[in-house]
A = this chain, B = another copy of it.
């Protein structure tokens, strides 16, 4: 009887709650680790979604434990809403990459400033790549039980690799003036 379709962010919280009751804090942490690479969410959002889902009876708040941890449990209606969401067509992906706007319009920018930005962002992605690789090793060392986790992590690896590869060919595309590496 859930007539209002839930959004993807709420749905992902419900997805995690299938593993058992969790607090907002737990959910932020697990979401950051498992879907952070392709689905960002902030603590504020999590608490708001939890509150609104509680109102809609999709989850039930338990008694606060130590440090006010308030565990939320998924309800039967919650499972139904989740099932409905997961079987609906996933929408197209959206990507918003400010750095690429900067690159496109970098004729209006001193060359060294562009190079700075590129260097900074490249480092961010190198770090992310390193993180993903570590996680990949961990998963495989642990015996590889969860193919879905592996599959999404594989996406992260491909994605970061593509970006790094782009950074590498950039200097030759833009001309050495904007090289990201030093002389």
Contacts and interface: CB of A to CB of B under 8 A. Distances in A.
Contact of A147 (B117, B121, B175): B175
A93 B104 contact: no
A124 interface: yes
Contacts of A82: 105, 108
Interface of A: 8, 11-12, 15, 18, 34-35, 37-40, 82-83, 86-87, 89-110, 113, 117, 120-121, 124, 147-152, 154-155, 158-159, 161-163, 165-166, 169-170, 173-175
B117 A90 contact: yes
A24 to B, nearest CB: 19
Contacts of A147: 173-175
Copies, count: 2
Contact of A86 (B100, B102, B158): B102
A113 B83 CA distance: 13
B39 A96 contact: yes
A173 B54 CA distance: 36
Nearest to A12: B101
A169 B152 CA distance: 11
Given A87-B109, A108-B86, A98 B149 contact: no
Given A39-B100, A90-B102, A90-B117, 15 more contacts: A11-B105, A15-B101, A35-B100, A37-B95, A38-B97, A38-B101, A89-B120, A90-B121, A93-B96, A93-B98, A95-B95, A100-B155, A104-B148, A104-B151, A105-B148
